[in-house]
Amino acid sequence: MIACTTSIGIALLNQNGADVAYQPAFLGAGEADRAFEALLRQVQFNAPEDSRVHLFGEWHEIPRLQVGYGDQGTSYRFAGCTVRARPWAEVPALMMVRETLRSRCGFEANFVLVNLYRSRANSIGWHQDDEADLGPQPTILSLSLGAERDFQFRHRQAADNGLPTVTIPLAPGSLLTMRDPTNKNWKHQVPRRGGTRPERIGPRLNATWRRIV
Query: Which residues contribute to the site for ligand AKG (CB under 6 A)?
Result: 113, 115, 124, 129, 142, 144, 151, 170, 188, 190, 206, 208
Minimal CB distance residue for ligand AKG: 206
Which CB atom, from 100 or from 128, has the smaller least distance to ligand AKG? 128
Q: State in angstroms the smallest separation of the CB of 210 from ligand AKG.
A: 9
Strands 111-117 and 11-13: unpaired
Which backbone phi and psi does 182 adopt, to 5 degrees?
-50, -50
Output 20 or 113, the one with its CB closest to ligand AKG: 113
**Torsion from C-alpha of 140, 168, 99, 33, nearest 10 degrees:** 150
Nearest CB to ligand AKG, comparing residues 146 and 162:
146
DSSP one-letter code for 116:
E
Q: Give least dist CB 39 to ligand AKG, A.
A: 13
- Name which of 17, 74, 16, 36 is nearest 205 in CA terms: 36
| Nearer to ligand AKG (CB atom), residue 158 or residue 162 | 158
Least gap, CB of 176 to ligand AKG (angstroms): 7
Amino acid at position 175, single letter: L
Least Å from the CB of residue 29 to ligand AKG:
19
What DSSP element (H or E) covers 178? strand 175-178
Q: What does the alpha-carbon distance between residue 173 and residue 152 come to, in Å, rounded to a whole number? A: 18
